[in-house]
Amino acid sequence: MQILTISHSRQPQKVWLKFDDDSLLPFKIDDLVILNVKKFVEFDVAALTKIQAASSKFVMTEYALRQIAISPKTSKLLSQKLANYQRLIQKKYNYASEATSGLTEAVIQEISAKGLLDDSKFIEYYVRRHSKMSQMQLKYNLRTLGLEYSSQESDHDKIAKIIFQKSKTTNLTDFKTKNKLIASLYRKGFAINLVKTVIDEYLTNC
């Protein structure tokens, strides 16, 4: 097999390799020099596997960086996303299994070495995104991701803040409105007895 053309792409570090069977592979420019990739040179199976391995590593690393740019990730979350993505690109670019062996682990190690996987940043992001979730539910969800979470804020205080905000736009003395709020907070992981207690405290003091 031979490479017929090496074409630039819109990404500054990326080129496209077009082979004599009309297949295309995305490739990192730096790897052209490292692997001495040239046009019109016949590649044996071993050389082609190296090219595919470099291509798949480049594609997976770019995907990992995009995912982290969208939001913080843990090693576990990113590994799951990379494993799914690897199956997609394996089919799309027809990578040999030998070229992608251990690929997800290699990308995770590289990303981790650059300090781009920070559990504390992910916890901050997750808690901020789910600010109305109970502390118990937050702890449980994060524990399933292999993370430990603790906070000085109690569920009592958290419910009180939510109720105060809701009281600005809703009438909590209305029976249906009150029950809807109780049901909503219960679905977010708050203990129903605690929710009722805090609402009653608020109505008594307002």
Which CATH architecture fits 3-117?
A: Orthogonal Bundle (1.10)
Note whether 29 and 15 are within 8 A (CB): yes
pLDDT above 80 (res 68): yes
Look at residue 85 in the predicted model and tell me its pLDDT: 96
**pLDDT tens profile 92-114:** 999 999 999 999 999 999 999 99
Q: How many CB atoms lie within 10 A of CB 162?
A: 19
User: Which neighbouring-strand residues pair with 25?
Assistant: 17
Q: What is the pLDDT confidence band of residue 146, given thresholds at 50, 70 and 90? A: confident
**pLDDT tens profile 13-57:** 999 999 999 999 999 999 999 999 999 999 899 999 999 999 999
pLDDT, averaged across the chain? 92
Note whether 147 and 122 are within 8 A (CB): yes
Crossing angle (nearest 10°) for helices 119-129 and 135-144: 140
Look at residue 166 in the predicted model and tell me its pLDDT: 87
Look at residue 140 in the predicted model and tell me its pLDDT: 92
149: phi then psi, degrees, rounded to nearest 5: -130, 135
What span, in angstroms and rounded, lies between the C-alpha atoms of 139 and 158?
A: 15
Amino acid at 132: K
Helix (H) or strand (E) holding 27: strand 24-28
**pLDDT tens profile 117-132:** 888 889 999 999 998 8
What span, in angstroms and rounded, lies between the C-alpha atoms of 79 and 96?
A: 20
| Residue pointed to by tokens 């608020």 | 202
The DSSP call for residue 97 is G
Greatest Cα pair distance, the chain, in angstroms, is: 84
Look at residue 4 in the predicted model and tell me its pLDDT: 95
In the chain, residues under CATH classification 1.10.10.10 are 3-117
Complete edge-to-edge strand list for the sheet that includes strand 3-8: 3-8, 14-19, 24-28
What span, in angstroms and rounded, lies between the C-alpha atoms of 7 and 26?
A: 10
Look at residue 70 in the predicted model and tell me its pLDDT: 92
Note whether 14 and 29 are within 8 A (CB): yes
Q: What pTM value is reported for the model?
A: 0.76
Going by C-alpha positions, the residue among 34, 41, 70 that lies closest to residue 55 is 34
Helices (H), ranges, the chain: 29-34, 45-70, 75-93, 103-113, 119-129, 135-144, 155-167, 175-187, 192-205
